[in-house]
Amino acid sequence: MTRPVNLYSFPSVDADLAPNLRRYVLDAQNEAVKRHNTFRVAVSGGSLPKVLAKALLADDPASADRADFSKWEIFYADERCVPLTHEDSNHALVKAELLDKIPAALGTPKVFPIDETLLDNPQEAADAYEKTLVSIFAARDSVKLPLFDLLLLGCGPDGHTCSLFPSYPQLRETDAWVLSIEDSPKPPPKRITLSLPVVQHAARTAFVATGAGKKEVLKSIFETEEGRQLPCGLVNEGAGERVSWFCDAAATDGVSYPRRGSVI
Ligand SMILES: O=C1O[C@H](COP(=O)(O)O)[C@@H](O)[C@H](O)[C@H]1O
C-alpha cells in the first residue's frame, strides 16, 4: 500500500460494525449539510444495503443526532440494466432494505434511479445517468468531476467495486463520469457504473466487506502489488485517507495491514 487508508475490523456486524458505520455516515452527513445543506451519497447493491439499514434505521426521530433523510440525495454507484422492480436491480434492493423502511419522522430522501426506458441500451442509460449527475453537480459548481459527499461501496470476492471489474477496459476511462458495461463477468451482464476517477474523487468513501468470503481478496488488496491493481485497490491508491474500510473479523482474518480501533 503506498497511500494509507483506514481499515476497521470489528468483532461482529450488528453490535460493532453497524454502530461505527452509523457514526461515520452521520459525521459525513453533518459535514455535508453544513457545507451545502444537502448530503449527496452514492450507494452500491450486493451485501451493503442490509448493513446500512442496520446502521441507520434504529435512530430515535426525536434525537438531534440521527440520519436526516430529508437532506439526502441518493444515487447509485452502479446499477444493473434490469427493471427497477427486478430482483437483480440494485435500486430494488436498496428500496426493500432501506428506503421502504425509513420512518416518516426521519424524512424522505430524493432518490435517483436509472432511466428504465433505456435498459436495452446500457450506453444510453449511462449517458442519461451522467446527464442527471451533471444537472445536479456541475450546474451548481461548474466542476470537472462530481464531488459526492459519501460513497458507500461493496467489494466483490474478485476485487470489483461498483461495476468496475478487474482488467476491464472501463478501468482506464479518464473522461466520462458514468460508464456502460455489456459483458459483466457477474450476472446480469448489462450494467452502468460510476467511473474510477469519479469514485477516487469523492469526499469520503466507505467500503463494507464482511464474511469469510472476502478474506482472500482483502489480503490481496492490502498486501500485494497485484491486489493494489484490483478496482478496490485502485480506489485505495487514488483516494488514500479519504477511504475507510468497515470489515468484520472474518473478512480481515489473516490481513496484517494496521487496523484502526473504532470510529466511535
Ligand atoms: O454486482 C455487484 O457486486 C458488488 C459486490 O457485492 P457483494 O454482495 O459482494 O457485497 C456490489 O457492490 C455492486 O453494487 C453490485 O452491483
**pTM recorded for the entire structure:** 0.97
Average pLDDT rounded to a whole number, residues 38-65 = 94
Top pLDDT among 58 and 90 is at 90
Distances in Å between the Cα of 254 and the Cα atoms of 22, 102, 202 are 26, 37, 29
Portion of the chain with pLDDT greater than 90, in percent: 93
Residues belonging to the chain: 264
- The rounded Å distance from CA 1 to ligand 1 centre is 23
The per-residue pLDDT for 51 is: 97
- The rounded Å distance from CA 139 to ligand 1 centre is 30
Cβ atoms of 251 and 210 within 8 Å: the answer is yes
Average pLDDT rounded to a whole number, residues 48-76 = 94
- The rounded Å distance from CA 34 to ligand 1 centre is 31
The per-residue pLDDT for 3 is: 85
In angstroms and rounded to an integer, the radius of gyration of the C-alpha atoms of the chain is 17
- The rounded Å distance from CA 44 to ligand 1 centre is 7
The per-residue pLDDT for 143 is: 73
- Residues sharing a CB contact under 8 Å with residue 204, sequence separation 6 or more, in sequence order: 24, 28, 149, 150, 151, 242, 243, 244
Work out which ligand 1 atom sits closest to the CA atom of 80: 16
The per-residue pLDDT for 84 is: 98
- The rounded Å distance from CA 233 to ligand 1 centre is 15
The per-residue pLDDT for 139 is: 62
How far is residue 245 CA from its own chain's centroid?
A: 11
Average pLDDT rounded to a whole number, residues 117-125 = 98
Q: Take atom 7 of ligand 1 and give the residue whose Cα is closest.
A: 46
The per-residue pLDDT for 154 is: 98
Q: What average pLDDT does the chain have?
A: 96
Work out which ligand 1 atom sits closest to the CA atom of 184: 1
Work out which ligand 1 atom sits closest to the CA atom of 77: 14
d(CA 20, CA 250): 17
Query: Which pLDDT tens digit goes with each residue over 169-212?
Result: 999 999 999 999 999 999 999 999 999 999 999 999 999 999 99
Query: Which pLDDT tens digit goes with each residue over 129-171?
Result: 999 999 999 865 567 899 999 999 999 999 999 999 999 999 9
Q: Take atom 6 of ligand 1 and give the residue whose Cα is closest.
A: 46
The per-residue pLDDT for 49 is: 98
- The rounded Å distance from CA 146 to ligand 1 centre is 22
d(CA 82, CA 64): 38
Domains, in order of start, for the chain: 6-59+67-147+165-205+217-246 (3.40.50.1360)
Top pLDDT among 88 and 59 is at 88
- The rounded Å distance from CA 88 to ligand 1 centre is 11
- Residues sharing a CB contact under 8 Å with residue 52, sequence separation 6 or more, in sequence order: 21, 25, 43, 97, 98, 152, 208
Test site for ligand 1: of 17, 51, 78, most ligand atoms within 8 A of the Cβ: 78
- The rounded Å distance from CA 52 to ligand 1 centre is 14
The per-residue pLDDT for 61 is: 84
The per-residue pLDDT for 165 is: 98
Q: What is the DSSP string of 23-52?
A: HHHHHHHHHHHHHHS-EEEEE--TTHHHHH
* pLDDT at residue 1 is higher than 60: no
Grid cell digits, residue 33? 449539510
Q: Take atom 8 of ligand 1 and give the residue whose Cα is closest.
A: 46
Work out which ligand 1 atom sits closest to the CA atom of 157: 9
Q: Take atom 9 of ligand 1 and give the residue whose Cα is closest.
A: 156
Place 58 in a pLDDT band, splitting at 50, 70 and 90.
confident
Number of Cβ within a 10 Å radius of residue 63: 7
Ligand 1 neighbours, Cβ below 6 Å, are: 44-48, 78, 90, 153-154, 156, 163, 186
Q: What are the strands of the beta sheet with 39-43, ordered from one edge?
A: 6-10, 243-248, 205-209, 150-153, 39-43, 72-76, 110-111
